Amino acid sequence: MASRQVLLLAIVSAVALLPAMVSATDYTVGDGHGWTLEYPSTNWADGKSFQIGDKLVFTYTKGKHTVTEVDGAAFHACNRQGNTLMTWNSGNDTVALDKAGKRWFFCNVDNHCELGMKLVVDVADPNAPAPASPPPPSSSSSAGRLNYRARGGAVAGAVAAAALVWF
């Protein structure tokens, strides 16, 4: 039946796209709490790993807060008079993590930064070459990527095979 073929194609396509989908994530800062004083954001990033292509979404009541990107020194000092790299203030701000390295954000209203409205993320480049480690016996991180791809391919193949058997 044509509909079965369409369904099969949909399943196989979805599995093939899976690696691309997991590689870019939109993170809502503070999760359900949003970007707020009631839920200091300082530790929200702990345990999360960010990659180029991910996005941070800051949601808050417009006018009550800002999302201000600064350098590390201004961040650590909560220096609101220092050099500002970028400011967002729409209340629903999407910040693209489009480059590797640390990005520092705080709220530029009153003493909110001191109260914990600050967030640092460290953005990894998934395509960066492995850092040169003293004796290079084997490139473990590129092997890891190859394994990851091989695993994705194996999963796609297994699902496709299962679907073929099923239909």
Binding of ligand NAG at residue 68 (CB under 6 A)?
Answer: no
d(CA 142, CA 146): 6
Residues in the chain: 167
Binding of Cu ion at residue 56 (CB under 5 A)?
Answer: no
For residues 67 and 88, the answer to whether their CB atoms sit within 8 Å is yes
Closest contact distance (angstroms) between CB of 110 and Cu ion is 7
Residue whose C-alpha is closest to residue 97's, from 27, 35, 22, 46: 27
Of Cu ion, ligand NAG, none, which one sits near residue 65, judging by CB under 5 to 8 A according to partner kind?
Cu ion
Binding of Cu ion at residue 119 (CB under 5 A)?
Answer: no
In this structure, which amino acid lies at residue 43? N
CB closer to Cu ion, 10 vs 115: 115
Closest contact distance (angstroms) between CB of 125 and ligand NAG is 25
Cβ-based neighbour number of residue 75 at 10 Å: 21
Closest contact distance (angstroms) between CB of 96 and ligand NAG is 11
In this structure, which amino acid lies at residue 18? L
Tokens of 23: 């590689």
Residues that bind Cu ion (CB under 5 A): 65, 107, 109, 112, 117
Residues that bind ligand NAG (CB under 6 A): 59, 92, 94
